[in-house]
Amino acid sequence: MSVASDSPVHSSSSDDLAAFLETELDSDSDSSSESFPIEEEPEDDAEVSNHRLKRRKLDHLETVDEDEIEEVASVKFSQEISEASSSKLPCQHPGTFGNMCIVCGQRVEEEETGISFTYIHKGIKFHEDEVTRMRDIDMKMLQSQRKLCLVLDLDHTLLNSTVLRDLRPEEEYLKSLTHSLQDVSGGDLFMLEFMHMMTKLRPFVHSFLKEASKMFVLYIYTMGDRPYARQMAKLLDPKGEYFGERIISRDDGTVRHQKSLDVVLGQEKAVLILDDTENAWPSHKDNLIVIERYHFFASSCKQFDHIFQSLSQLKSDESEPDGALATVLKVLKQTHSLFFEDGGEDLSGRDVRSLLKQVRKDILKGCKVVFSRVFPTKSQAEDHPLWRVAKGLGATCATEVDESVTHVVAMDVGTEKVRWAIREKKFVVHRGWIDAANYLWKKQPEENFGLEQLKKQGAEEKSDDVPLEK
Amino acid sequence: MFFHIVLERNMQLHPRFFGRNLRENLVSKLMKDVEGTCSGRHGFVVAITGIESVGKGLIRDGTAFVTFPVKYQCVVFRPFKGEILEAVVTLVNKMGFFAEAGPVQIFVSKHLIPDDMEFQAGDMPNYTTSDGSVKIQKECEVRLKIIGTRVDATEIFCVGTIKDDFLGVINDPAAAA
């Protein structure tokens, strides 16, 4: 060990030179490394002896005399000692696997172990600092690949499932249309008899995932249980190229009945969420893109108290090129390109949350909206959800009419404001116009949302915008 | 490490298994019950190799079940701290990688992978040296050192390291193919 203290070998800077020497020598000729005259080298040359050490590790064929081995071994030993002494600081226990620290192997008490990543492995937990560190490293890596994170919900977002028992008689025809489970690629309707379920993928989902995976690291986050989540992932991603192990189910969440980004390994400012249920994400509303619910099966409509017929009963489906997923994909593309716009090196100031707001603000830009008999008179108009939605979409909201107003949102023809609007040739629309713009990320043609349409529809008549109303 | 040891177990047998084949029934039930289980002390029971003795049966009061004390020889596998193991990589991610040596699951964290190996994301995530000569990915065989073990009723967890001399990839079927 006394050799160790005065030996200059264990400085890491010499490694580079040794590596350089090695490549130089190897490139010289193949045989030269074998016949390299070791004995003739000056013994005190630290670089060369280190080089020899490295070569020994790689090449056991080399023959060196006994003293040489002795020296090499002692140097190596001293390196180990110095490494050990430098890491004498108490281990921070950045994470645990089965309650053992992943760095030092010690048992760690249950309480101080941090966030569980059960979707990766049931025994693994990481300390919050470590998670933050991983997110930071990840962020750099993702930025170099020009990627962000996207968390996807399953039910009513990417697909719709029903229990076979709930299948209506008029839906029985679907059973003959199901796709084989042996080769799921290309199919969109599946019967999972072992789970007693039938699943319909949303139109456009395959293209959506393909396109989105180029811009985002994809996660699944569902309120279903783990076997269900895994099975659905198999249907969506048979080759496992999109999601990998990033499939988070109800069993993996940290808070019951809620979804949270704390188990997602992406910085919050680089994560977008696509879900049909806003309430599931109480603390990440700004990252969330709410998508119109996909109801293919009748049981699914019933679950949400919708009175209209399901797509399966109507024997129709969402349109591929103009469906909800296609719309969302456009929003994703827009947000992604804003994030990486002017492709500089420093993207640390960028935040998807503000960019998403920015994208939203363009939708109803330039519109000035007045509400008439939409809100109860008692309450503050500014607090009404519809008011906030309209503001979020970039519209200016007002309580009184004036020249600059462009749209009057009303539920009844007879109000004073509506009469004013008709006189002044302004648009009169019902609230569905705002809801539709909110879900479809696009200003809708006003003539489809006139008050006459609302009346005509009556109670039971179904039209495109009815499902948009909650 | 593997051990060949003698263990004892009290087997409860239903009367319908009595008769000529009582012994065979007892042994097959023993195999079903014991093989593949873990105990904190002995580790994972890999296989029963023989029966040493079957003691006298005792009828349990109130039920018709009979308890037989059975002594059996078996091969057990128990990892130890400091042991060098060869394992197959099952999952690679940015936190490190998971590997299996038979029933034993081992996690090697990023901290205990040599610093010159960088994580590469993609559909086949891996850790690769800067010159690309060494690559750890799924299905790879690695030699690692155990630094901590925990044995549960059904599973053995280990934490390992490859940040030491002579540890790391020993065979990569994907690269060979």
For residue B151 the two structure tokens come to 């044995």
Q: What is the ipTM of this complex?
A: 0.79
Cβ <8 Å between B91 and A120: yes
Based on the fold, state whether residues B133 and B62 are members of the same structural domain: no
The total number of structural domains in chain B stands at 2
* Percent above pLDDT 90 for chain A: 7
pLDDT of residue A38 exceeding 70: no
Q: What does the pLDDT read at residue B12?
A: 92
Percent of chain A having pLDDT more than 70? 75
Question: Are A254 and A262 in contact, with CB atoms under 8 Å apart?
Answer: yes
Residue, of A64 and A130, whose pLDDT is higher: A130
Q: Are residues B71 and B129 in the same domain?
A: no
Q: Has residue A349 got a pLDDT over 80?
A: no
Question: Residue A356: its pLDDT value, please?
Answer: 86
Coil vs helix vs strand at A248: strand
Our CA-based measurement puts residue A288 at a distance from the nearest CA of chain B, in whole angstroms, of: 25
Q: Are B105 and B172 in a shared domain?
A: yes
Residue B170 sits in the same domain as residue B100:
yes
Burial code of A369-407, b = ≥16 C-beta within 10 A, e = fewer? bbbbebbeeeeebeebebbebbbebbbbbeeebeeebbb
Query: Is residue A56's pLDDT more than 80?
Result: no
Give residues with Cβ within 8 angstroms of A52, minimum separation 6: A38, A64, A68, A72
Residue B11: predicted pLDDT: 92
Q: How many of the other CB atoms lie within 10 Å of CB of A84?
A: 9
Q: What are phi and psi of A195, to 5 degrees?
A: -105, 0
pLDDT of A213 strictly over 80:
yes
**Residue A4 pLDDT > 60:** no
Report field, pTM of the whole predicted structure over 0.90? no
Q: How far is A123 from chain B (nearest CA, A)?
A: 8
Q: How much is the average pLDDT of A202-207?
A: 90
Residue A175 neighbours by CB distance under 10 Å: 12
- Of B60, B77, B94, the residue that ends a domain is B77
**What average pLDDT does this structure show over A101-115?**
79
CA atoms within 13 A on the CB side of B102: 17
B55 and B118 fall within a common domain: no
Per DSSP bridges, beta strands A247-248 and A216-221 are: parallel
| Confidence bin at A70 (pLDDT 50/70/90) | very low
Predicted pLDDT of residue B8: 93
Which B residues 97-116 touch A at CB under 8 Å?
98, 105, 107, 109, 111-112
Chunked into runs of 10 residues, chain B (177 residues) has average pLDDT values of: 93 90 91 87 90 92 92 93 93 91 90 90 86 89 93 84 90 69
Q: Chain B closest CA to A70's CA: distance in Å?
A: 17
Q: Which of A366-380, A453-467, B119-133 is least confident?
A: A453-467
For tokens 């610093």, name the residue: B115
Put simply, whether A386 touches B (Cβ < 8 Å) is no
A100 touches chain B (CB under 8 A): yes
Q: Could you count the other beta carbons within 10 Å of the beta carbon of residue B15?
A: 11
Q: Do A102 and B81 touch (CB under 8 A)?
A: no
> Residue A219 above 80 pLDDT?
yes
- Look at residue A157 and tell me whether its pLDDT is greater than 70: yes
Strands A95-97, A124-126: parallel, antiparallel or unpaired by DSSP? antiparallel
A301 vs A52, higher pLDDT: A301
Residues B73 and B129 in one domain: no
**Which residues in chain B are closer than 8 Å to A104, comparing Cβ atoms?**
147-148
Residue B95, chain A, CB below 8 Å: the answer is yes
Question: B52 and B89: one domain?
Answer: no
> Hey, are the CB atoms on A101 and B148 less than 8 Å from each other?
yes
Q: Are A266 and A217 in contact (CB under 8 A)?
A: yes
At which of B54, B77, B100 does a domain end?
Answer: B77
Interchain proximity B152–A134, CB inside 8 Å: no
CB atoms near residue A6 (< 10 Å): 7
Amino acid at A370: V
Judgement on whether residues B167 and B99 belong to the same structural domain of the protein: yes
Residue A360, amino acid: R
DSSP for residue A48: H
Q: How far apart are the first and last CA of chain B?
A: 31
| Boundary-marking domain end, from B39, B62, B77 | B77
Residues B136 and B100 both lie in one domain: yes
pLDDT band at A65; cut points 50, 70, 90: very low
Q: Are B157 and A98 an interchain contact pair (Cβ–Cβ within 8 Å)? A: yes
What CATH number is attached to the domain comprising B107? 2.40.50.140
Nearest CA to A293 out of A272, A314, A308 is that of A308
Together in a domain, B89 and B30: no
The predicted-structure confidence for A270-279, as pLDDT tens digits, reads as follows 899 999 888 8
Decide if A102 and B109 are in contact by the 8 Å CB cutoff: yes
Q: How many whole angstroms separate alpha carbon A227 and alpha carbon A195?
A: 9
Comparing C-alpha atoms, which of A269, A265, A261, A262 is closest to residue A347? A269
Q: Which residues pair with A126 in a beta bridge?
A: A95, A115
Report the distance separating Cα A126 and Cα A254, nearest Å. 13
B163 touches chain A (CB under 8 A): no
Range of the domain at B105: 84-176
Residue A294's contacts (CB-CB under 8 Å, 6 or more residues apart) are A156, A157, A158, A159, A160, A202, A276, A318, A324
Nearest to A359 by CA among A329, A386, A338: A338
Are A274 and A153 in contact by the 8 Å Cβ rule? The answer is yes
Among the partner-chain residues A98, A105, A121, the one whose CB lies closest to the CB of B147 is A105
C-alpha closest to that of A274 among A256, A254, A294? A294
* Domains defined for chain A, CATH in brackets: 2-86 (no CATH), 95-126 (no CATH), 146-339 (3.40.50.1000), 363-468 (3.40.50.10190)
Supply the CATH number for residue B7's domain: 3.30.1490.120
Instruction: Indicate if the alpha-carbon torsion angle A411, A414, A420, A426 is positive or negative.
Output: positive
What pLDDT, on a 0 to 100 scale, did the predictor assign at position A3? 41
Query: At residue A105, does pLDDT exceed 90?
Result: no
The confidence score (pLDDT) of residue A211 equals: 92
Tokens standing for A269? 């400012």
pLDDT above 80: residue A254: no
Lowest mean per-residue pLDDT among A35-49, A183-197, A269-283: A35-49
Tell me: do B106 and B49 sit in the same domain: no
Q: How far apart are CA B34 and CA A459, in angstroms?
A: 66
Q: How far apart are CA A54 and CA A20, in angstroms?
A: 12
Q: Within an 8 Å CB–CB cutoff, is residue B4 touching chain A?
A: no
From A214, which residue of chain B is nearest by alpha-carbon distance?
A: B122
The predicted structure's pLDDT at residue A23: 52
* Residue ranges in A202-323 assigned as alpha helix (H): 205-215, 226-236, 298-303, 311-314
Q: What is the CA radius of gyration of chain A?
A: 32
- Non-local (6+) Cβ contacts of A439 within 8 A are A290, A291, A292, A324, A468
Whether the Cβ atoms of residue A335 and residue A271 lie closer than 8 Å to each other:
no
Same domain? For B66 and B90 the reply is: no
